Amino acid sequence: MEEFKKNLIGLEFKDILRKGKWLLFDIGDYYLCSHLRMEGKYFIKKHDEVIDKHEHVIFSFEDGTDLRYHDTRKFGRMNLVLKDKLDTVEGVRKQGIEPTDSNLTKEYLYEKFHKKKLPMKTLLLDQTIISGLGNIYADEVLFGARIKPMRLGNTITLEECDKIVKSSREIIEEAIKCGGTTIRSYTSSLGVTGRFQQNLMVHKRENEECKICHSLIKKIVIGGRSTYYCEKCQL
């Protein structure tokens, strides 16, 4: 921690990049790799403003402003690495292809899925295959692609991979437009709300009617994660 502080004093934040779910702050010879997990968020505040009990890391700048990292559950992670050592941050290095990237093709997904004996829900959460989908969007993508979450990778056809490409792109783009999804965050008073929850077709909708076929949405656990799907719409 002391080392972390000492290394940053006097350095300039030059840029902010993103790789999958990681934020990379370009600072001098370093990248500060920051993963927000569930509820991590950054705020700009004046240096003299009262420090909230969930503001765990504060960067103070010469102009009297702070960049403050706020994380209710202390679940996020930060990792300061020299730029040429970025490869040593496993999570950052092993990112797969993003839904918005034209390199995400049905052939690529078929190659990744067709020998796997893991459920599709688990495979969509694997950041080394598709980068950026979390528990909510994985459920939504599978609904959009009309694939049951427990189907194993080795049962998925090329055609279904095409549906996943399209569904993931559509859902991620729409979610970004909406400012994300607010489900468990209680910090909306701070201005961080997502509107995508209005678009959710299955996630967190156990025993509610499917918006397409009106049968009841089911909830199960796959790979230790809550998973929602429509028995009738998804094959």
Backbone angles phi and psi of 212, in degrees to 5? -100, -55
Of 139-178, binders to DNA (CB under 7 A) are none
User: CB-wise, 65 or 78, nearer to DNA?
Assistant: 78
Q: Which stretch binds DNA (CB under 7 A): 4-12, 143-151, 188-196, 217-225?
A: 217-225
Determine the interface stretch with DNA among 8-16, 121-129, 156-164, 209-217 (rule: CB under 7 A): 121-129
Question: What are the distances in angstroms from CA 61 to CA 2, 46, 68, 122?
Answer: 18, 10, 11, 42
83 Cβ contact partners less than 8 Å away, ≥ 6 residues apart: 29, 30, 31
Q: How far apart are CA 17 and CA 70, in angstroms?
A: 19
Closer to DNA at the Cβ: 47 or 73?
Answer: 73
88-122: b or e for each residue (b if 16 or more CB lie within 10 Å)? ebebbeebbbbbeeeebebebbbebbeebeebbbb
Place of tokens 């609904």: 143
Pick the piece of the chain touching DNA (CB under 7 A) from 103-111, 119-127, 155-163, 166-174: 119-127
Binder to DNA among 183, 192, 216, 220 (CB under 7 A)? 183
- Please report where in the chains the tokens 């420090």 appear, as a residue: 51
Give yes or no for residue 85 binding DNA (CB under 7 A).
Answer: no
Query: Other C-beta atoms within 10 Å of 72: how many?
Result: 18
Does position 37 interact with DNA (CB under 7 A)? The reply is yes
Residue 31 phi, psi (nearest 5): -110, 130
Number of residues that bind DNA (CB under 7 A): 29
**Could you give the string, one character per residue 39-78, with x where binding to DNA holds by CB under 7 A and - elsewhere?**
---------------x-----------------xxxx---
Among 10, 64, 191, 224, binds DNA (CB under 7 A): 224
Q: How far is the CB of 108 from DNA (least distance, A)?
A: 16
DSSP run (H or E) holding 219 = strand 218-222
Residue the block writes with tokens 């893991």? 118
Tokens for 178, please give them: 């909406």
Decide: is 114 part of the binding site for DNA (CB under 7 A): no
List residues binding DNA (CB under 7 A).
20-21, 35, 37-38, 54, 72-75, 90-91, 116-118, 122, 125, 127, 134-136, 183-184, 186, 204, 223-226
